[in-house]
Structure 1
Amino acid sequence: MGHDKEKYEDQITLFALGLLKGYELRQLEEHLDAGCEICEQLMRESELTLSSLAYSLDDSPLSPQVENKIFDRIEAQETAPSKTPKLSFWNSIKPIWLNLGSAVAVVLLVFLFANNMSLRNELSVQKQDIKNLQASAGKETEMMDFVMNPNVQTVKLAGTMSELNSSGKLLWDEDSTRALLLVSNIPTLEEGMTYQIWCMENGIPVSLGTFKVNENGEKMMEIKSMPRPSKEMEVLITLEPDGGMPHPTGATYLAGSI
C-alpha cells in the first residue's frame, strides 16, 4: 500500500497549527496510531519548525495547497456560528491559576486581599488625619478671631498661693457670652482630681466646667455660655474630685473679678 505523503504532510501541518478538525483529525490520529514512521518524522519536523518560528529571522514558506487550506479553514471558522460561549475574564485566566497550584493560588489571594484591606485602612486613616487637621486649623482660626475681637474683655486671674507662680486670663465677650480661659504654672493633678472654674455672684456659685492641665501646668479652655453679671462677679478656679462638684469644696488656685 503506497504512502500518500503529500496528503498527510498537509494534514500534519494543519494539525500543528490547530486547524485540523473533524474527520481529517480522526483519520490522522488513527494513521499515527498505526505506527507510520514517515508521518511520525513529519510530525516531529513540523513541531520543531513551529517552535523555532519565534527565534527565526527567515519565514519558511508553506506550500500553496497548505496556504489555501489554512485560509479556507480560517474563513470557515469566522463565518460559522459560534457554539462556544464567550469566555469570561475568570475563565480566560483560570489556566494560569491552575498552573500555579491550589496552595500558591490561595496564598496569593490572601496576600492580595490583605494588601487591599491595608491600603483601605491607610486611606481611611489619612482621610481622618486630614479631617482632624482641618478641624484643628478651623478651631485655631476661630480662637484667633475671638482673641482679636475689640469687644473682648480680659479678666486677670491671680494665683492665691504665694509659693506657686500660677496665673491665668479669662477673655470674655459679653455680647456673645463666650469666653476663653488660659492658665499656666498650676500644679499637675493627682489621679481622681480635676480643676473646676466658677462664677460667684452674691455668693452663689455657677460652674463653668472642669479641666485638666498638661505636664507644664497649662490649659486653654473654651467656655460657650458665660453668665451676664448684674454687678461685680468673682471668678474662681478650685481643686475638686473628678466630675466636679455642685459648689466649691477644694483649695482655690486662681481668682479674679469682672
Structure 2
Amino acid sequence: MAKRGAPGGNSAPRPGPGGPRKNKVLFVVCEGQTERSYFHHLNHCYGAEYNFQIQLTPRKVTEGQQFNGYKPAPAVREAIRLKKSAKGIKNTEFWAVFDRDENDDVYEAFRLARQNGINVAFSHPHFELWLWLHFAPGLPGRLGGNRAVIPAKLRRIKEFGDFEKIVASHHFEELIKEERQAKAVKLAQRLVSGCPSGRCGQASELGASGHASTCDILLRDPSTDVYRILEVLGLVS
C-alpha cells in the first residue's frame, strides 16, 4: 500500500502563512454505491493527514437495506440544500457526483449547479472509468454509450476480479499504489484536452473544470471529472 499522505509520489502540501491549514470540508452527494465507497476510503486514508473531511450523502446504509442514491438533478438539489444549511461555515465546498449512464436530466443538473455554485464531478459513461484510468495503458477511445467495456477491463485486473459496485478496501489499496493516482489524473486531464468539442483543455486552476462552457456535456465521451476533487483536497498537483 502506498504511504499515506504521499499519493502518487507527491509530497504533502505545506501549510500557508499564519500556521497550519484550516480543515477543508467537502460535502459530496453521490449518485451510486461505487462513488460513495470510493470517497469513503479516500476520506479514511488521507483526511487526517491532509486536513480535510468528506461529508458523504447518502450516509452509510445498514447492511441489507436498499441503497438510495441520487440521480443527477436531485443530487444537485441536495447539494444546494446542504449548502444553505451550512451557510456561515468556512472552507467548504459542495459537490454532486454523477454519471452519464442513461440519465435524462444531466443538462438540468448542470444548469442548477451553475446557478447555485455547486461543483460537479461528471463521468461519461460511468464512475468506473475513473477507476480504470489508474491501470489503463493509455487513453481509452470513444465508448459510444457502451457501459460494459470499462467494467470488463477493470475486472481483468487481478485484484479487481471480484469487483461489482463496491470499492472495497483491497481495491482501494491497489488504486493508490505506485503513483497510480497521479497517472489517473494525467489521463483524465488528457481526456479533457481531447474532448470532441475541440475547445477544452487543462484548467489553469486546480479543481477547476477544463471543459469550455459551450462544450456539449453529453458529447464528453469518455471523460471523468473526479480528478478535480483530488486536486482541491491537495492529494495531487
Shared fold per TM-score greater than 0.5: no
Q: Give TM-score scaled by structure 1 length.
A: 0.20
Q: Give TM-score scaled by structure 2 length.
A: 0.21
Larger relative contact order (Cα-Cα within 8 Å, sequence gap ≥ 6): 2
Q: Which has the larger radius of gyration?
A: 1
Higher strand share: 1
Higher helix share: 1
